[in-house]
Amino acid sequence: MKRVVATLAALVLLTPLAGCGSADERPGSATGVRAALPLPENVQDPAEIPSARPAPDCDPRASLRPTGALPAPGRMPAGSTMARIVARGRLIVGIDQNAYLFGYRDPNTGDLVGFEIDIARAMAKALFGDARKIQFLAITTADRIPVLQSGKADMVVRTMTMTCERWQQVSFSTEYLTSHQRLLVRKGSGIREFTDLGGRKVCATRGSTSIVTIAEQPAKPIPVATDSTLDCLVMLQQGQVDAVSTIDVLLAGLAAQDPSTEVVGRFSSDEPSGVGIAKNSPDLVRFANGVLDKMRADGSWTSIYNRWLTPLGPAPAPPAPVYRD
């Protein structure tokens, strides 16, 4: 929590400065400035890029079909993962508390709010009939798979990209948000594409698909990894990196916090987000997909999109579910 508070304080101090200065007054490149300014915790510069694990070809969007109608809240099938969660009295969900619009703390109330928080609460309401019966577990990008494998979380709702490699480690719901990887840069930087970033520093979170995509670029940018995308924004503001690269929906949230930045570049990857669930809980995957099907049909997906994500533009149609069975 201390790191989060310190990071938010840095944003408060740095954003007005970035808005008042001209592009010429900011550092033109990350080279030579990082030693003069403090870094966020746990920065990897350059980032350690994990080796890709062998994975069979698959449709990463294809999940498990719901089994009939959703059970009534509080009346889950005997012996099911859902019944175990109901008996515990709360759903445990891994989330981001630093992603503006998606999962962050309301500065007025201190409550966790955002698009993904509402997705998680919809799951709790379907289980219990009460969206408040939920325990949020604030995790980093790199924590997402471990907390599911260890059983510390029942679900992860944290812009987790569905990939064939990850399907070997965890399971996913159907897609609840479509996005693509792009770039966030300082206005006036002259950077428009990855081709402009050869030998320059580009930030993304540890354990993300984004950091791998950066390392694979032919221009050979230098990938820099942090615990959170918000840390990447601070480093961009301080001139310690030249760009931030992650999914466009998260970049739009960063740009909304700092109008001296802009989202640029062509799509560099396809990034469907699904709810992460442990491999040994296929019944919970089917249940989550039933909840998402209901949200698509009754308009609640569109309602929460309009509540949080209007900075991205008008609400699109919800992503259509794809099933493998």
pLDDT at 290: 98
Report the chain's mean pLDDT, rounded to a whole number. 90
Instruction: Characterise 188 by phi-psi region: left (phi > 0), alpha (psi -120 to 50), beta (else).
Output: left
Exposure string over 233-260, b if 16+ CB within 10 A, otherwise e: bbbbbbbbbbbbbbbbbbbbbbbeebeb
Paired with 274 in beta bridges are 175
Query: Cα separation of 193 and 284, whole Å?
Result: 41
Is it the case that residue 10 has pLDDT exceeding 80? no
Within a 10 A sphere around the Cβ of 324, how many other Cβ atoms?
11
Kind of pairing, strands 273-277 and 155-156? Answer: antiparallel
Exposure string over 129-145, b if 16+ CB within 10 A, otherwise e: eebebbebbbbbbbbbb
Paired with 264 in beta bridges are 183
204, amino acid identity: A
Q: Are 26 and 190 in contact (CB under 8 A)?
A: no
Q: Are 57 and 318 in contact (CB under 8 A)?
A: no
117 pLDDT tier (thresholds 50, 70, 90) = very high
Which residues lie closer than 8 Å to 252 by C-beta, 6 or more apart?
Answer: 101, 263, 311, 312
pLDDT at 50: 79
30 pLDDT tier (thresholds 50, 70, 90) = low
77 pLDDT tier (thresholds 50, 70, 90) = very high
* Segment 182-217, tens digit of pLDDT: 999 999 999 999 999 999 999 999 999 999 999 999
Is it the case that residue 273 has pLDDT exceeding 50? yes
Is it the case that residue 116 has pLDDT exceeding 60? yes
19, amino acid identity: G
Tokens of 289: 């997909």
* Segment 248-262, tens digit of pLDDT: 999 999 999 999 999
Q: Are 292 and 321 in contact (CB under 8 A)?
A: yes
Query: Cα separation of 142 and 275, whole Å?
Result: 15
Is it the case that residue 5 has pLDDT exceeding 50? no
